[in-house]
Structure formats: C-alpha cells, structure tokens
Structure 1
Amino acid sequence: MHSPFARVLLTSLTCILTLGPQAFAFNHHRLDSRAMINPTLQDSYDFVIVGGGLAGLVLASRLTEDSSTTVLVLEAGGTGEDVANTINHPGLAYYAGILGNPEHDWQWTSVPQPNAKNRVMNWPGRLLGGSSSANGLYIVRPSSVEVDAWQSLISGLDGADNWTSEKFFAAMDKSETFTPPSAEIQATGNIQYAARSRGSSGPLHVSYPGYLPEIVGKWTNTLSNIGIPVNSDPAGGNAGGAYVTTSAINPTNWTRSYSKTAYIDPYYRPNLHILTDSQVTRVIFSGTKATAVEYGQDRKTVNVGKEAIICGGPVGSPATLMRSGVGPKDVLDAAGVPVVVELPGVGQHLQDHLASQIIFGTNDETAGSVHANADDPRSTSDVFLSYVNSAIAYASSSELVGDVESYKNDILSQLDAGLASVPSTDSTVLAGYKAVYEVAANKLITSSSGQVELLLALTGTSAGSQTISVQAALQRPFSHGRLYINSSNPFDPPVIDPNYLAHPSDLVVLREGLKLARSIGMTEPMNASVTTEISPGANVTTDEQWNEFILNDFHTEYHPSCSCSMLPKDQGGVVDAHLKVYGLDNVRVIDSSVFPIEWAAHMMAPTYGLAEQAADMIKAQYSSTGSGSSSSPSPSSSSSSRPSAAHPSAVPTSISLIISSLFLPLILAHLFL
C-alpha cells in the first residue's frame, strides 16, 4: 500500500504531466515576469534595444521567440507597477492621468511657437510601454494610398518591397486580436465594422468599450448629412469617412491592452531582460560598428553582440543618435559631440498633428457628466472606465474645399514657401522635403484619405456644464520642424521645434476643418443634443476671426513622427528600407520616427505594424546564420496577462521539463514502493 504522501504526489504529478505547463501558467507568469524586469545583467546581448516603448517591447518579444537570441531593453522610465491601476483603467488614465508627474513624464516642451502666439506645447511621456500605456486607445489604421505613397518615396531602395500596403496591413493584422462589440454597444453607437479586415490571433486586444453615451449613435448619421460618408470597413485600406473606431481594450475585463501587457507580461523568456529607470546616454562605436550602449547616471555599459536597435520615439531616437555622434555636423559641433557619422537628416522632417475644437453645451449624458457625478455608481466601474471617446471621421480634400484640382495646384504653387520654412539649409534635407511635399500634393490631396480628422469628445466639462466637443485636427502638415541637442550632457532635454503653421496652407485646412466641426453641431440628429456653442462662439464667422481663434487655441494631438525618416540618403533620410541607419554597420531605428509622411490616422496601429514587420525582417536576416524563430505570441485573457491555454508556447515547455527532472527520482521511487 502506498503512503498518503506518495498517493498525493502521484496524483499531482499525473495532473502536471496531463495538463502540461498550462496548469502552472498563472503563478509562474507572475513570478517569472518579475524576474526578467530589472535583473542582474549579462555583459553582452545579441540585441540591445534602446527604449521600452510600444515598438521596443514588440521587438523584444518577437526577437526572443528564438530561445537562442538574447535581448536587453533599456528603458528610461519606470515599470508602471506603481500606477498599474491607472494604466489598466483607461478612464482613470484620462481623468486622473499619469502624465505631468515627473516619475512618468519627461515634461518636455517645445520652444515658443511664433505661429501660436509664442505658446509652448507639452510633449509628454516616459514609461515602460511608452505612449500605449497612457494614450486614448485609438486603433486607427492609415489608408493604403498613404502606405503606397510612402513606398513610392523609397522605391529605389533595396528592401522597399517590405513596405507594400499588402505587407503593412498584414503586419497590423498580425499584431491584434479583434473582438466585435456587444449587440448593445453596437446598437447604441450605430457601429459598423468588417471583421474580415482585422487580425484574429495577435497579442494586442482590439475591440470596443463596454460603455458608450447614447449621443455616439448620432455621429455617423450626422456626418452623412453634412456629406461625409459612413465607412463600414475603416481597417480595410480606406480610412476616410465617419465611423466609431476600435480601441486597444481587453473586452474580457475592460482593461487597457498595451505593449507591455500584450507582448511582455504573458511570456516567461529567460533570454529577455528589461532594465527600467535606465536612460541611455549614447551608443559607443568602434569605427562605424556599435559595440556597446552606455546608460544611467553612472554611465554603465553593456556590449552589443549583433545590433543596437533604437526605439526612443520621435524625440528619443534622433536625440540618442545625436548624443552618439550621428547627425548634422553643425549641431554636433555646437553641442561638443564628436562626429561619428555626419547625417544631416537626423531630427529633421519632424511633423505633428494639430487640433482645435468647437465646444457645445448639452443636456444629454456624456462620459464627462457621468464621471463628475460621484453618486453615479457607474463612474467608478470597470465598464465605464473603458471609454475614452471613439467617434471619428476623416474628411478628404473634396469635403473640405470642394475643388480638389484647384486646391492641389495652390499647394504645388506654394512649394517655394514651404522650402523657405524648412529649418535646415542642407541640400539633402531640402530635397527630402520637396519629395514628401510633392507626393502629398499629387497622391494624397487628390485621394479620399483624410486631410482633417474630426473627433467627437464627450469627456469634458466647461464651467461645470456638460459639453460636447468636436475637434478638428490637421493630418497632413506641410510645415516641417526639427529636433536637436544643444549640449553634450545627455541628461539635458532636447530642443523641440515643430515649426507649427509655418506653411500658410496648414492654417487654411485647420480653419476649414473647424467650420465642418461647427456644422456637425448644427445638423440633424446631433443638433438635438446641442443647447449652445460655448467656444469659440457664434460671433466668430470671418476667416480672420477663425484664424485668430486658432492661433490662440490649437494644440498638439501628441502624434509626432518623421524625425528619423525612411528616405534615400540624398533626401535627408536617416534609415534605409531595412531600417538601418545610413553609414553605420549595425544600428537600426524602429519606431514612429521613421515614417516619412504623417499618417491620417492615430499612430498606434501603424507603429505596431512597423515593429511586427521589422521583427520579421531582422529574424529573416539572422536565420541564415542559424538563428531561427518559434511560435508567435498570443493574446492574454486578462489584465493579469495570463497565457492563453490555446497557445501552450506562452509558457515554455522548459517549466514542465524542470518539474519532471525534479520529481523523476520520486516517481521512480514510488514505482518500486
């Protein structure tokens, strides 16, 4: 007869061997994910990733699918564990916020902007997961015509075929698992969608919030009545028109789905180390080969085995390159940084979305009114806090100005004015500006892609009153700015000069967008929800009055890009079509800074697609030298990011092997009792 201990042990081991690693997935995830963040570092890693934002964490996850590949992520911000509840509940991130807190925010500002009454703009963020940990959740894809325009700019480069619209949309599909809205939410928001255009097995949860104000259901009909068509398939290659867009939300528990919870937390990877609170100060070179990365106040170094991959975003990536001696020679000389590679385009071509808004009073329920009512039990519920706006539209040139051909010709006639506003005299940067300008004028202005985004904002109040805001945001700026360093001290903030509204057409387009925004509040069925126009007020009617209002009111949508543009080197390009930095042997930049044109879209979906495609390219390059890849990550099922039982690779079979090896002697002993 077996002892009670032996019987319990045999039963437990039978469960282990039958169920496999899934039986222990949750507990081992919680222990092991903590172990890989802020570990004791190795001397060297195959890939050192500079920046643990959206793109950096996607790359870290995908590259370490190959257990023989070692990856270190160096992130200047914290883990976010201290504000996890705020991050996970999107409404809290919006209303309470984590930005503005120096623990989680660089608190960068632009230089005073002459075309904004010398106002400065905040450019926030510093946290593991990057902007995906604190943004408004919008998963909005660009149109295929925009991706095709991007590819046309790099058509002469080796590897340009990696960036066709077909491959780019497939990469965005790969990043996500789409869940349709509930029947109640679909009816409330009058939502249309096409599941065939969405991903079904990616790490990122994409769905709709669990709460919608009823006023959202008026959006698409109102837009249709002002001539902007309803789009039932905005993810399928044409993002123009009006719709209720998807959010990066986990519909099983209404928590934020972002790069950390989607790509990192579910997977125990002993070959992946993440070091937070560790700002990279520079990449160290031997000739043109990156050999180490320096980080932290005490300037520690870690060696680079294969590549240094810079994922610092539109601000951090060009700043890191320049601090490492790669960039415009005049900037580096003035900052006292020795030149490793002269690359005039670093920090140039900087573009951003600008927005202003019409604020209407309303007596209808809004998210802002629910949140402001502490007696409403919904105001603190997970379902309510899953909502951070969702109704948008992208207005084309024809919907803004009518005569598209005349508008295009006007834009082309102002090319010289645009060139004069470029904050560089370098001939290659000017050539790049001209190339981007002409592609935008000839291919994008005449298309159905958006020139202005219209966004219904229901989260605000004004002087204690319930409000509806309709924002209008310029999507295709012809004003390009720059970012640069003015000191050799890597802890000094970079200089951010977006050069807002330097090109005269940008103000015209934003003004026409605001006129459309006003018309929305005056058109059925939305007008039934409007009591008055609070701002700018009905007395603003002339173009001069509109202009004055915009210059005092406009703000950034927090969508900067293009500061390390993928363009030919003789057009001020920073990276080639393989995302490798010109002139360097083993450094890539992979984040939204490499897009050469500003998308008519929010930046999150295309950046996920970029990182997915980049990971495949890197793995393909090194697979020929014996580095393979394993199965893809799958979506987690909750905010605790438990591995999906449908994908046992989420927790390695090594756990089962370890357990088996530990207990095998006991099993054998039991058999002979």
Structure 2
Amino acid sequence: MEADYIIVGAGSAGCVLAEKLSAHPNNRVIVVEAGGADSSFWISTPIGYGRLFYDKAVNWCYTTEPDPSLDGRTSHWPRGRVLGGSSSINALVCIRGRAEDYEDWAAATGDTRWGPDAMAACFRTLDDNDQGANEWRNSGGVFPIHSIKGASHPITQNFLDACAETGVPRNPDFNGERQEGAGLYQINTRGGKRVSAADAFLRPAMRRPNLTVLKRTQALRLTFSENRCTGIVVQRNGEQVNLVARKEILLAAGAIESPKLLQLSGIGDAGHLSKLGINVRVDNPNVGANLQDHVGLNYYFRSKVPTLNQELSPIIRRFWNGARYLLTRSGPLSLSVNQGGAFFKTSPDRPLPNMQLYLQLITTLNGRGQARPLLAPDPFPAFALGLSNIRPKSRGSIQINSADPLAPPMINARAYSASEDLDEMLEAVQFIRKLVSTKAFSGITESEIVPGPDVQSRSDLLQDIRQRTGTVYHPSCTCAMGLDPKASVLDSELRVRGLDGLRVVDASSFPNIVSGNLNVPVMMLAVQASEIISKG
C-alpha cells in the first residue's frame, strides 16, 4: 500500500494533518491508528471521561517507573488509543497557552513561524468562539471552543469572589489577550456532546477518496533507503504489512509513542540501542529525553452547600440526570469536571503566573482501586481545588527497554527532579488555604478533608506533596525541535535531524511545555506544520 503521506497516529495532531493534507486532491494520505473507532457513549458524554480512565479498549494505560521524587511511587498515565487520541478521553479544557510560551518557541527554533503572532493565526483557524475580537480571537474557526458561562454551579461564583479577595483578578477569557486571573474554563463541546479532533477534523475528511484510515493497526518500525525514510512496517489483522510513503512519514503518535518508534527504528542514543540489539541509524541521545509534564495535586473540602456530588450520588438523582442528558443533552453530564479555574503567581516577585488552579465540584475520595467513578461520586457535599505547575523545570525521559515493538517503554517522569518545582508547589498549597479562608469561601466550607488541618508544618506539607502529586496528563518535548543540533531532535520544520522524509508533529515536538492544557496547542502546532509541509 502506497501514499504520498503516511500519518502515524489519529490523535489531536494526526487528525488535523489528515484534514489539511487530504484537502489537496492530488495528495494520497494514509492514517495509521493503533486504536479503534470512537463510537463509545462515554467518549461523546463530557463527564464520561472518568469511565475511560483505565479502559484499555481506548487507552494505552501506561505506568511510569518508580519516581524517587514521589517517594518511589509509580503513576498511571492514560493516553488515548482511539480515533481522536487523547482528545477523545481528556477532561475537555481548552487553553491555547500564553504569548510568552511561543516567544520561547521562536527563540528555541530561531523561527518566527513558531512565535506568538503565527500561533495566534493558527488558533484563529481552530476557534469558533466569538467572545471578543483581539489578536487571539475571531469567530469562524472549525474547532468548537465554548464558554460554559451561564451553566456553571453556584459555588463557582464563590470561587471567583474568593480569588478576587486574594488579589487574583477576574479574567473573562483565558484564551484572550491575558491569561492571568480567575474565570470559567472553555470546553470542547457542542450541543452537550464532546467534540474531539476526530469529530472536528478527521471524520469530515474521511469522506474524501484520497484519505484512508487504518484502525487497529500498530506501527512497528520505520523503513529506510540510505538516509531517506521510505515507509513503515505495521501489524494489521495479525500480519505485518509494509506501507510506502512517496513523500513523507509524519509521526503524530504522541510524546510517548513517537520517541519509542524512533528508537525502535535505530534513531536515538547509540549506546542504549546497541545494547538492545538495534542497528543504529542516527545517534541522537535527545530522542526521548527532555520529557516535560504538568504535575499537581488536589486539596479536598467538605461543603456546607450541595455540590455536583448530590446531583449524581443518590441513585434516583443519577437516573434523573442520565435521562435528562439523553433527552436534552444538558445537566451535569454535559459538563467538564473542571468549571472554574485560575492562572496565578505563587509569589508576587514572579514575573508571570506559574500555577494553574482547577475548581472541581465532583469528588471521588470513596473510589475503590482503579475506579474513577465520576458518575458515582462521594455521598456528601464536597469540592476540590486542584493545582498544576505550568512551566516546570523538572525533566524526565521515555526510553525503550526492549526491541519488541509491542512492549511498553520506560517512563521516568522525575516529577520533582528540580527542587524549584517542589518549592513552588509548596507556595501553591499555602495559597489554597489562604483562598479557602476568604469570606467568600469560608461561609460555604465545612472542613478540609485531605490532607486535613493537622498537616501544617513545612516538612509535613512537603511530605504530603510528594506522596500525593500526580501527573496532569500533559507529557511533551521528547522529540523537541530546536536550533542547536546537539540539543534537539527536530529542526524548525519538524524534520528529524540526519534523515529525509521523516517529521514528528505532536506534543513531543514542543521545544518547551506551554502554560496550560495541551490539546489546543497540539492542534495549533499541526495547523502550522501542515502549512510548512504543503509549501515544502
């Protein structure tokens, strides 16, 4: 089977690439996806992502190596293994990142096509929200980014008022000119249903005769002719099949699978690959290195007033809201678990916000084992305030430990390998307690449940942070593009250094992680990549 372009991965980036490249009728495009169709009811239902958290039918369900900075704990890393990728199983929050993130991208690559003005243009092609006209906004994009203003829980107003009391100003649009402040999150829904990258981009493009999508097809290794990548070997229906790319192979498999596939194909640290019996094609120790992720933890509070727990925990209310959702696509099932939020500085001497805050009005402290039962929450009123560091200094790695392409890679997250990240998380949890003690919050808060009022000293707070911190599911930068060949995997046009015919277009391509959720920035990257590829 041959095509001009073979895209590996039908996630957020792959779906955009498929739509953009197949729009040219002379391009023959094949998309290879390890997962299956995105037809599950729980995918289309916004709050249903909790049911997919450990579902291997749509989820890679990775497990990290023990992390010394987290007291030796391992972590569960869900990633989408389905059409739409992680955009089909995420919590729907849409953040484009701030302009300073893309100033850093332009500096790292020496290319203004990755700067804030260019990324703003990419964002406008995605965004159909018309909240206000500025350089980041216009209506008419194809990806539905909607505000939940008017549909949020009353406690959200207490949250916004409490933020104002602590000096965090109101921000009506996190995707506007200014990210700092407190406001309502925008989510990827339309008519009460999730809109994934597959919904917005891939499915419409699949009507074109020049696009073929191969589901349940596992990429095994790349093929080469001298220094040119010519195709890929895949496993499909129990057989190995060779796919040939007349122009290019585009890896869009994500921050874990893309470096894994490069390493399996002989592109990576020569010493490590040689030990595994893999013939080295390009010696580049940066492949799989530089892993960046947002990490965080929740503080839980018992509430004096009802939260969404009361909408979903009594079985009669659960059935009522289920029927309401099926009939009207409204109610708590139509919303993200995250409603209000903020971007704030943990200390006034910081030049930019360094922390993201999530208000969650469903809690699952009574969940058992690997359950994440958002449709069966705690039977008492409670809410959580979640923290996430948005520009961490800690770095981890993705590295294969076997030449077997079906074996999972080693994920060394090293969440707090940089002490500065632990220090700013300590500042952030102290801010949480300040926030809850405000007049706006104290009137509706009965008590702190976790970690509890007994955890007060610096040493106890740091111990709690290490014991409860987890990923916020934003791995990136493991095949980073950059100006320096000795410190990067890709050049500024996303081409793998040392080879022709091979690019990486996904979160692994980021020069640095962006400030906030990654779904929209990944699609912005793919929009710009499609322009670069088409003009190349």
User: Structure 2 length normalisation: TM-score?
Assistant: 0.92
Amino acid aligned to 2:29: V
Q: Kindly indicate whether residue 306 of structure 2 is the aligned counterpart of residue 355 of structure 1.
A: no
Higher mean alpha-carbon deviation, 460-469 vs 494-503, is at 460-469
Of residues 282, 288, 308, the one that matches 1:341 is 282
Question: What SS does the corresponding residue of 1:177 show, helix, strand or coil?
Answer: coil
Match of 1:550 in 2: 465
Q: Does the Cα contact within 8 Å between 1:347 and 1:563 map onto a contact in 2?
A: yes
Question: What SS does the corresponding residue of 2:388 show, helix, strand or coil?
Answer: strand
Higher mean alpha-carbon deviation, 46-55 vs 200-209, is at 200-209
Instruction: Spell out, residue by residue over 1:119-178, the C-alpha distance to the aligned partner (whole angstroms, 9 max, x if none).
Output: 1011122111111001011111211012102211222xxxx1211201101101111211
- Larger proportion of strand: 2
Amino acid aligned to 2:171: N
Amino acid aligned to 1:69: N
How big is the shift at 1:475? 1.7
Amino acid aligned to 1:91: I
Of residues 225, 247, 257, the one that matches 1:306 is 247
User: Structure 1 length normalisation: TM-score?
Assistant: 0.74
Match of 2:321 in 1: 378
How big is the shift at 1:549? 0.7
CA 459–74 in structure 1, closer or farther in 2 if over 3 Å, else same: same
Instruction: Map residues 13-412 of structure 1 onto 2, 5 A cutoff.
Output: 43-81=1-39, 83=40, 85-94=41-50, 97-125=51-79, 126-155=81-110, 160-178=111-129, 197-209=136-148, 211-250=151-190, 253-267=191-205, 268-296=207-235, 297-376=238-317, 377-380=320-323, 381=325, 382-384=329-331, 385-388=333-336, 389-396=338-345, 400-404=346-350
Question: What SS does the corresponding residue of 1:72 show, helix, strand or coil?
Answer: strand
How big is the shift at 1:299? 2.0
Distance in 2 of aligned mates of 1:273 and 1:307: 16
CA 114–287 in structure 1, closer or farther in 2 if over 3 Å, else same: same
Distance in 2 of aligned mates of 1:266 and 1:596: 31
Match of 1:588 in 2: 503
Instruction: Spell out, residue by residue over 1:293-331, the C-alpha distance to the aligned partner (whole angstroms, 9 max, x if none).
Output: 110152211111100000011101100111111111112
Q: Does the Cα contact within 8 Å between 1:581 and 1:587 map onto a contact in 2?
A: yes
How big is the shift at 1:201? 2.0
Higher mean alpha-carbon deviation, 132-141 vs 288-297, is at 288-297
Question: What SS does the corresponding residue of 1:243 show, helix, strand or coil?
Answer: strand
Q: Tell me the matched-pair count.
A: 511
Question: What SS does the corresponding residue of 1:138 show, helix, strand or coil?
Answer: coil
CA 565–531 in structure 1, closer or farther in 2 if over 3 Å, else same: same
How big is the shift at 1:403? 3.5
Match of 2:403 in 1: 488
Q: Does the Cα contact within 8 Å between 2:5 and 2:29 map onto a contact in 1?
A: yes
Rg: which structure is higher?
1
Q: Does the Cα contact within 8 Å between 1:141 and 1:235 map onto a contact in 2?
A: yes
Amino acid aligned to 1:255: K
Match of 2:450 in 1: 535
Q: What are the ranges of 5 or more consecutive residues in structure 2 without an aligned counterpart?
A: 367-378
Q: What are the ranges of 5 or more consecutive residues in structure 1 without an aligned counterpart?
A: 1-42, 181-192, 405-445, 622-673
Structure 1 runs of 4+ aligned residues shifted over 4 Å read 193-196
Instruction: Spell out, residue by residue over 1:586-635, the C-alpha distance to the aligned partner (whole angstroms, 9 max, x if none).
Output: 100001111121211100111111111111111122xxxxxxxxxxxxxx
How big is the shift at 1:238? 2.6
Amino acid aligned to 1:393: A
Instruction: Spell out, residue by residue over 1:390-437, the C-alpha distance to the aligned partner (whole angstroms, 9 max, x if none).
Output: 2111112xxx13334xxxxxxxxxxxxxxxxxxxxxxxxxxxxxxxxx
Question: What SS does the corresponding residue of 1:146 show, helix, strand or coil?
Answer: helix
Q: Does the Cα contact within 8 Å between 1:349 and 1:481 map onto a contact in 2?
A: yes
Pairwise CA RMSD of aligned residues? 1.6
Question: What SS does the corresponding residue of 2:239 show, helix, strand or coil?
Answer: coil
Question: What SS does the corresponding residue of 2:262 show, helix, strand or coil?
Answer: helix
Q: Does the Cα contact within 8 Å between 1:569 and 1:582 map onto a contact in 2?
A: no
Question: What SS does the corresponding residue of 1:205 show, helix, strand or coil?
Answer: coil
- Larger proportion of helix: 1
Match of 2:359 in 1: 456
Higher mean alpha-carbon deviation, 264-273 vs 581-590, is at 264-273
